[in-house]
Chains A and B, each alone.
Chain A
């Protein structure tokens, strides 16, 4: 079975400071990992994905994520937060050996204060 956890319901950060949104996962085989962002009253938008290769994945809008196999984590990061980054962020996982359907986390609300 595959599962994903986002341990923080909300993350608050000041504009200009680095941000981290946490995600941990559980799979039987190798993980395929994703981050999506949802702005108010909008659908989810794809940010980035990890399939294989370099542990640091770069995505849209200056975001990046670090894959850590030993800690089964895939945290989303950005060096300098913008107020416009305020949104709901979803982590998702798919087990390479299992169903092709991803499992989504519950989401983390990121609030960037001016």
Chain B
């Protein structure tokens, strides 16, 4: 049972480049979400999804897109990378939106030069 899998683990981008952070879970979880973690700021929610075909914005959605075509996958797209998007990104899922236990991936460390 792999849980929540994120790829890549590390990525360096140049300003203006685009890329997709991958997230997959094999637990048949309805709820999936993306967070960014910055020093002294804790975790901030970027986007979330309560099921296939349904997505919504979190606290800091600007500069990011998401889609949920399947239950398993929830990719995060950076449209035009900026240095302010340098961060560690975590994907998290839970069985249902109101289920209280989140399962986190191991993170993607992104640097934008």
Q: Which residues of B contact A106 (CB under 8 A)?
A: 40-42
In the bound complex, what is the Cα–Cα distance between A32 and B94 (angstroms)?
15
Q: Which residue of A lies closest to B109 (CB)?
A: A41
Q: Which residues of B contact A34 (CB under 8 A)?
A: 100
Quick check: which of A12-20, A42-50, A66-74, A78-86 contacts chain B, the rest being far away?
A42-50
Q: How many B residues have CB within 8 A of the partner chain?
A: 22
In the bound complex, what is the Cα–Cα distance between A34 and B104 (angstroms)?
14
Q: Which residues of B contact A100 (CB under 8 A)?
A: 97-98
How far is the CB of B40 from the nearest CB of chain A, in Å? 6
Contacting residues of chain B (70-113) with chain A, CB-CB under 8 angstroms: 90, 92, 97-98, 100-107
Q: Which residues of B contact A43 (CB under 8 A)?
A: 4, 90, 92, 104-107
For chain A, the bracket of interface size reads 20 to 34
- CB <8 Å contact, A44 and B100: no
Q: Is B48 an interface residue (CB 8 A)?
A: yes
Q: Which residues of B contact A102 (CB under 8 A)?
A: 102
Q: Which residues of A contact B35 (CB under 8 A)?
A: 104
Q: Is B60 an interface residue (CB 8 A)?
A: no
Known: A104-B42, A104-B43. A45 touches B104 (CB 8 A): yes
- CB <8 Å contact, A42 and B42: no
How far is the CB of B47 from the nearest CB of chain A, in Å? 11
Q: Is B45 an interface residue (CB 8 A)?
A: yes
Partner of A105, one of B42, B98, B104, B107: B42
Interface residues, chain A, CB within 8 Å of chain B? 9, 32, 34, 36, 41-46, 49, 51, 90, 94, 100-102, 104-107
